[in-house]
Amino acid sequence: RKEVEQDPGPFNVPEGATVAFNCTYSNSASQSFFWYRQDCRKEPKLLMSVYSSGNEDGRFTAQLNRASQYISLLIRDSKLSDSATYLCVVSYGGSQGNLIFGKGTKLSVKP
């Protein structure tokens, strides 16, 4: 049973394109949701938290559908520097806050 599932990609898009990533999670007890970004052989870095009402940070928009256990990330006007692997991450909450990672979706933005 995969707890967090993502399309592995790769997504190859031209600069300026809009790209959307989807993620599903299996545990309905999940309480916190995140998108992390990971560059090759580097550590995961928090891109944004995901809230039930949806949230936006510049060119990035995240959505959460608790009923469907589905999370999305939309990147508008993609830049070369957006090339990375995008990790969907959930946490069951509580004081420990352990993170459960998806395998990631690889994005390659081409000039």
Partner 1 sequence: EPEVTQTPSHQVTQMGQEVILRCVPISNHLYFYWYRQILGQKVEFLVSFYNNEISEKSEIFDDQFSVERPDGSNFTLKIRSTKLEDSAMYFCASRRDTQYFGPGTRLTVL
Task: State the residues that interact with partner 1 by CB under 8 A.
Answer: 38, 41-46, 49, 87, 95-104
Bond prior to 44 in cis (omega within 30° of 0): no
Q: Which is nearer to partner 1, 42 or 110 (CB)?
A: 42
Minimum distance between the CB of residue 58 and partner 1, rounded to whole angstroms? 18
Q: Do residues 70 and 22 touch, judged by C-beta distance below 8 A?
A: yes
DSSP assigned state of 31: -
Smallest gap from Cβ 66 to partner 1, in A, equals: 21
Backbone angles phi, psi at 110, to 5 degrees: -105, 150
Whole-angstrom distance, CA of residue 61 vs CA of residue 3: 23
Q: Which is nearer to partner 1, 32 or 69 (CB)?
A: 32
Least Å distance, CB 101 to partner 1, is 4
